[in-house]
């Protein structure tokens, strides 16, 4: 059943940006998911007067008026979050349909993932017969930071930001919320897709491609259901916005494990690999890479030229970054003589202009500012990687300011990634750079790998001139 594209965005808006939310199966018992979802919606900051708990045996839940059926709600309901037992799901979906609910997020499990494939098919049929859309079943919910809607059993919302994270693993989704808070990684949405019975990855790509709050899309997937549609959509969407996917189940046994716990066919890995490449999806292999790369892709322009310049105050960090450039296919060459001559102004005689540009341990604010500005402004340079080992001679914050000033002063559209190596002070300065939309990482290889993702995007978009 092919769905027209333009309408997908309209159909999914009530799912991610609803005005009103009913929680069907709301509960007064704190250990129940139906309690947690109401509490999370309230604590997340969604307006109280637009949350409607549904429970035939309660008048009030967490201080909110409860209704026996969604049909009794006096206002229009955009989104119904369903967490009733599987046996009464069909009844409440019918109620939703009759009420005119626009979209359903179904936390309830017990369908395709445990072999009840036929029941899941009937469920989708019922939902569609009312013109509704269904996320799930078997999800942990939806976290939308734009309207502060935590319609999930994740204990908190991720920090607001511009990465949409779509995950096929619910437990991973919940666990990573805490991680995004600790690591200060901003998300526009966190979507648990569950069994993808109706809304699937292709629909979500379509929605987030058009979402003004999202600049990069992160996918954790174990298998896609309608491969052809997914990759056709991805090919189109990745022209507009970067997509990074962590596809688990790469190994034979991993694929079998994925198939057993999601019910989805995982498929041969090299087929995925080729399809990712053709459709412009950048493939990550670890959770760190998935978010590292999205952070860079969401904030930096793709490069237009091959040559990368590395600026460092530590020879060792420079050597490690050089190795990583070889691993990720980045072009590190000796700069032209005129550029070398300018770099020389910013280092003592025992520095190096050979790329990595080694400003040496003597480098302070002015040397970083001068070298980064010089690199950004020179026409030979495509991109700049800045490395800084926290030494006693300067503070990370000073160097962070020097980098930001140089970027502002240069007024060019070239990507920059940074690595600050050190302790708590370096970590704070790194956070400060990220808040100012400059991606900063704790090790040189991660800054290089993120730049590698920017180059792969530039290649896909055909932007690189020689």
Footprint (CB under 8 A) of a second copy, residues 327-386 = 327, 332, 350, 352, 354, 356, 358, 361
User: Shortest approach of a second copy to residue 446 CB, angstroms?
Assistant: 8
Q: From residue 220 to residue 259, what is the string marking binding to a second copy with x (rule CB under 8 A)?
A: x-x-----------------------x-xxxxxxx-xxx-
The alpha helices in 83-226, defined as continuous H runs, are 89-99, 117-129, 170-183, 201-210
Residue number, 181 or 464, with CB nearest to a second copy: 181
Q: Is 445 in the site for a second copy (CB under 8 A)?
A: yes
Residue number, 55 or 116, with CB nearest to a second copy: 116
Structure tokens at 251: 């190994």
By CB under 8 A, name the one of 91, 323, 366, 413 that touches a second copy: 323
Distance in angstroms (rounded) separating the CA atoms of residues 110 and 127: 17
E runs forming strands in 321-431 = 357-358, 383-389, 416-421
Distance in angstroms (rounded) separating the CA atoms of residues 102 and 143: 18
User: Shortest approach of a second copy to residue 30 CB, angstroms?
Assistant: 10
By CB under 8 A, name the one of 147, 226, 322, 377 that touches a second copy: 322
Q: Is 295 in the site for a second copy (CB under 8 A)?
A: no
Q: Is 262 in the site for a second copy (CB under 8 A)?
A: yes
Query: Using CB under 8 A, which residues numbered 61 to 120 contact a second copy?
Result: 113-114
User: Shortest approach of a second copy to residue 94 CB, angstroms?
Assistant: 27
User: Shortest approach of a second copy to residue 325 CB, angstroms?
Assistant: 7
Please list the residues that pair with 281 across neighbouring strands.
243
Residues 6+ apart with CB under 8 A from 12: 103, 133, 199, 203, 204, 206, 207
Residue number, 126 or 287, with CB nearest to a second copy: 287
CA distances from 272 to 114, 223, 226, 240, 275 (A): 25, 9, 13, 21, 5
DSSP 158: P
Query: Using CB under 8 A, which residues numbered 297 to 316 contact a second copy?
Result: 313-316
Query: Using CB under 8 A, which residues numbered 117 to 176 contact a second copy?
Result: 153-155, 167-172, 174-176
Length of the chain: 466
DSSP 307: B
């Amino acid at each position: 059943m092919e769905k027209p594209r333009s309408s997908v965005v309209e159909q999914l808006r009530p799912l991610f940006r609803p005005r009103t939310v009913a929680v069907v199966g709301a509960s007064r018992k704190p250990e129940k998911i139906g309690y947690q979802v109401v509490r999370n919606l309230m604590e997340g900051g969604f307006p109280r007067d637009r949350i409607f708990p549904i429970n035939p045996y309660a008048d009030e839940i967490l201080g909110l008026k409860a209704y026996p059926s969604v049909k009794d709600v006096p206002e229009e309901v955009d989104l119904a979050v369903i967490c009733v037992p599987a046996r009464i799901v069909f009844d409440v979906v019918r109620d939703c349909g009759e009420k005119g609910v626009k979209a359903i997020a179904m936390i309830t499990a017990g369908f395709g993932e445990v072999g009840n494939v036929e029941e899941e098919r009937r469920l989708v049929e019922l939902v569609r017969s009312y013109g509704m859309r269904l996320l799930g079943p078997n999800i942990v919910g939806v976290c939308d930071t734009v309207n502060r809607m935590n319609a999930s059993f994740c204990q908190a919302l991720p920090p607001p930001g511009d990465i949409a994270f779509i995950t096929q693993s619910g437990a991973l989704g919940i666990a990573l919320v805490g991680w995004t808070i600790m690591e200060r990684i901003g998300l526009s949405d966190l979507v648990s897709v569950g069994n993808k019975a109706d809304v699937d990855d292709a629909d979500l790509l379509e929605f987030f491609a058009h979402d003004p709050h999202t600049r990069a899309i992160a996918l954790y997937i174990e298998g896609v259901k309608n491969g052809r549609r997914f990759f056709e959509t991805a090919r189109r969407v990745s022209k507009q916005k970067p997509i990074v996917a962590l596809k688990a189940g790469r190994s034979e046994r991993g694929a079998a494990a994925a198939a057993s716990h999601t019910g989805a066919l995982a498929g041969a890995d090299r087929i995925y690999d080729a399809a990712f490449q053709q459709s412009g999806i950048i493939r990550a292999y670890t959770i760190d890479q998935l978010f590292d790369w999205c952070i860079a892709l969401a904030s930096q322009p793709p490069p237009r030229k091959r040559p990368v310049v590395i600026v460092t105050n530590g020879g060792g960090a420079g050597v490690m970054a050089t190795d990583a450039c070889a691993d990720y296919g980045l072009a590190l060459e000796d700069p032209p003589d005129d550029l070398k001559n300018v770099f020389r102004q910013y280092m003592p005689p025992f520095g190096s202009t050979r790329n990595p540009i080694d400003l040496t341990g003597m480098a302070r604010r002015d040397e970083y500012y001068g070298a980064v500005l010089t690199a950004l402004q020179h026409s030979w340079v495509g991109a700049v990687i800045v490395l800084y080992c926290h030494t006693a001679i300067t503070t990370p914050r000073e160097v962070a300011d020097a980098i930001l000033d140089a970027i502002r002063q240069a007024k060019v559209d070239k990507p920059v990634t940074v690595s600050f190596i050190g302790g708590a002070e370096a970590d704070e300065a790194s956070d400060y750079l990220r808040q100012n939309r400059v991606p900063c990482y704790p090790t040189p290889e991660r800054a290089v790998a993120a730049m590698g993702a920017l180059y792969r995007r530039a290649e896909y978009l055909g932007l690189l001139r020689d």
